[in-house]
Chains A and B, each alone.
Chain A
Amino acid sequence: MHVPDGFINAPTSAVTGVLAAGAIAVSLRGARRELDERTAPLAGLVAAFIFAVQMLNFPVAAGTSGHLLGGALAAILVGPFTGVLCVSVVLLMQGILFADGGLTALGVNITNMAVVTTVVAYAVFRGLLKVLPRTPRSVTAASFVAALLSVPAAALAFTLMYAVGGTTDVAIGKVATAMVGVHVLIGIGEATITALTVGAVIAVRPDLVYGARGLQQKLRLRVNGELVDVPAAEGARTAPVAARTSRRTLWATGLVTSLVLAGFVSFYASSSPDGLEKVAADKGIDKKAEEHAVSDSPLADYGVKDVTDARLSGGLAGVIGVGVTVVAGSTVFWAVRRRQSTDASPTTVENV
Chain B
Amino acid sequence: MGAGHAHRLYRHGHSPVHALPPHTKLAAAFAFVVVVVSTPREAMWAFGLYAVLLAVVAFHARVPAGFLLKRLLIEVPFVAFAVLMPFVAEGERVDVLGLSLSVNGLWGAWNVLAKGTLGVASSVLLASTTELRELLLGLQRLKLPPLLVQIASFMIRYGDVITDEMRRMRIARESRGFEASGVKHWGVLAKSAGALFIRSYERGERVHLAMVSRGYAGSMPVIDEVTASRAQWSHALTLPFAALVVCVLGWTL
Chain A: residues with CB nearer than 8 A to chain B?
2, 4-7, 9-10, 13, 24-25, 28, 31-32, 37-49, 51-61, 67-68, 77-78, 85-86, 88-90, 92-100, 102-105, 167-171, 174, 192-193, 196-201, 203-205, 208
Contacts and interface: CB of A to CB of B under 8 A. Distances in A.
A49 B200 contact: yes
B71 A99 contact: yes
Contacts of A92: 152
Given A59-B181, A174-B88, A97 B127 contact: yes
Contacts of A37: 208, 212, 216-218
B185 interface: yes
B98 to A, nearest CB: 22
B44 interface: no
How large, as a class, is the contact surface on chain B? 35 or more
B154 A103 contact: no
10 contacts: A46-B204, A49-B196, A52-B159, A85-B148, A96-B26, A169-B90, A192-B183, A193-B189, A201-B194, A203-B194
Contact of A44 (B33, B116, B153, B181): B153
B182 interface: yes
Interface of B: 1-6, 9, 26, 29-30, 33-34, 36-38, 41, 71-72, 74-75, 78, 85, 88-91, 104-105, 107-109, 111-112, 114-116, 118-124, 126-127, 132, 135, 145, 147-148, 150-159, 161-163, 165-166, 180-183, 185-187, 189-198, 200-201, 203-205, 207-208, 211-212, 216-218, 220
B108 A167 contact: yes
B180, B189, B205, B212, most chain A CB atoms within 10 A:
B189
A145 B72 CA distance: 36
Nearest to A198: B194
A322 B91 CA distance: 34
Contacts of A5: 33, 36-37, 115-116, 118-120
B207 A45 contact: yes
Contacts of B161: 48
A28 B207 contact: no
A45 B201 contact: yes
Contacts of B203: 45
A48 B150 CA distance: 13
B120, B123, B181, B190, most chain A CB atoms within 10 A:
B190
Contact of B116 (A7, A13, A90, A95): A7
Given A168-B105, A170-B85, A24 B148 contact: yes
A66 to B, nearest CB: 10
A197 B190 contact: yes
List the 8 closest pairs (A to B, CB-CB), nearest first.
A44-B154, A6-B115, A168-B108, A200-B194, A5-B119, A196-B190, A45-B204, A4-B116
Contacts of B186: 58, 192-193, 196
Contacts of A40: 147, 150-151, 154, 220
Given A5-B118, A59-B182, A196-B186, A170 B90 contact: yes
Contacts of A88: 148
B151 A208 contact: no
Contacts of A58: 180, 186, 189
A90 B194 CA distance: 19
B151 A44 contact: yes
B16 to A, nearest CB: 21
Contact of A93 (B30, B152, B163, B193): B152
A104 B119 CA distance: 8
A286 B232 CA distance: 64
A39 B116 contact: no
B61 to A, nearest CB: 15
A315 B195 CA distance: 45
Contacts of A56: 2, 166, 189, 192-193
A259 B166 CA distance: 38
A6 B148 contact: no
A36 to B, nearest CB: 8
Contacts of B115: 4-7, 102
Contacts of B200: 45-46, 48-49, 52
Contacts of B123: 95-99, 102-103
Contacts of B185: 59
B183 A60 contact: yes
A49 B148 contact: no
Contact of A49 (B41, B150, B197): B197
Contacts of B147: 28, 31-32, 39-40
Contact of B193 (A99, A197, A204): A197
A49 B193 CA distance: 9
Contacts of B109: 168
Nearest to B216: A37
A234 B185 CA distance: 43
Contacts of B85: 168, 170
A49 B71 CA distance: 24
A295 to B, nearest CB: 32
B161 to A, nearest CB: 7
Contacts of A199: 190, 194
Nearest to B138: A96
Nearest to A192: B186
A47 B36 contact: no
Nearest to B78: A4
A194 to B, nearest CB: 8
